[in-house]
């Protein structure tokens, strides 16, 4: 898809050209740094990154919508969507490019936390088990991919960034709550479907160090589904 990487590169650069990108990274690193110092670098506990991964998963709830809220909303608000949609690139290239740009930014936000792993390995004897750490990072990346795709889709529905932020936050919360607390109140026949869509058991598996291919397929296909919905939304805006 021509133009995808061009759009992704611009999107990534834009995060670092405005305060939002730096603030998101700084807050995330500050909070995860606090968790690492207070809960992980503790001589009386086992050498594990588990608290970091569980706190990080919760931190993604506000951080990812903050990253995704401007992806399309800002283009609609400023009118730049018009030159973008009249350039010879497809709606798919635009949506995927923006998604990739936001994903790269999220990976760059996670990358400095690898220093925590290095410090833990350096000060711990025996060294921490690599399996749960790799699985933990995989869970963060997959969860981030899904949240970003939801945020991308919601930002394609509105020109208001605040609405895009709140919409994404509530959509993710709804997904988390409906598949946990709400599942027990549903009719017996519907429960397997809801349990299959639940995120928390899958994240719990990753936390144990289990990298299940079905979980990877689940997160990847759900993310692809929301990116596809974004493409359809862009096309319908053009044809409406």
Give the footprint of another protein on this chain (CB under 8 A): 2-3, 6-7, 10, 13-14, 17-18, 78-80, 82-90, 238-239
Closer residue to another protein, CB minimum distance, 86 or 213: 86
Q: How far is the CB of 80 from another protein (least distance, A)?
A: 4
Residue 49 or 69 having the CB closest to another protein: 69
The distance of closest approach from Cβ of residue 90 to another protein in the complex, given in angstroms and rounded to an integer, is: 7
CB closer to another protein out of 25 and 133: 25
CB of 160 to another protein, least distance (A): 17
Other beta carbons within 10 Å of 78 = 10
Of the pair 21, 132, the CB lying nearest another protein is at 21
First to last CA, the chain: 24
Least distance (Å) between residue 161 CB and another protein: 15
């Amino acid at each position: 898809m021509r133009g995808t990487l061009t759009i992704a590169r611009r999107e990534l650069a834009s995060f670092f050209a405005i305060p939002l990108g730096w603030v998101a990274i700084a807050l995330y690193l500050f909070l995860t740094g606090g968790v690492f110092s207070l809960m992980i670098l503790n001589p009386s506990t086992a050498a594990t990154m588990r608290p970091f991964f569980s706190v990080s998963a919760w931190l993604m709830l506000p951080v990812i919508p903050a990253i995704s809220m401007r992806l399309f909303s800002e283009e609609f608000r400023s009118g730049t969507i018009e030159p973008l949609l009249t350039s010879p690139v497809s709606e798919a290239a635009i949506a995927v490019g923006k998604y990739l740009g936001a994903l790269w930014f999220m990976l760059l936000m996670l990358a400095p936390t690898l220093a925590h792993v290095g410090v833990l390995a350096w000060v711990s004897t025996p060294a921490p088990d690599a399996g749960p750490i790799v699985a933990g990072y995989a869970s963060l990346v997959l969860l981030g991919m899904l949240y970003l795709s939801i945020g991308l889709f919601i930002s394609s529905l509105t020109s208001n960034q605040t609405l895009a932020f709140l919409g994404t936050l509530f959509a993710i919360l709804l997904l988390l709550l409906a598949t946990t607390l709400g599942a027990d109140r549903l009719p017996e026949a519907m429960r397997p479907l809801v349990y299959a869509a639940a995120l928390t058991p899958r994240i719990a598996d990753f936390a144990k160090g289990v990298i299940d291919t079905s979980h990877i397929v689940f997160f990847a296909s759900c993310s692809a589904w929301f990116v596809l919905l974004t493409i359809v939304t862009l096309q319908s805006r053009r044809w409406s």
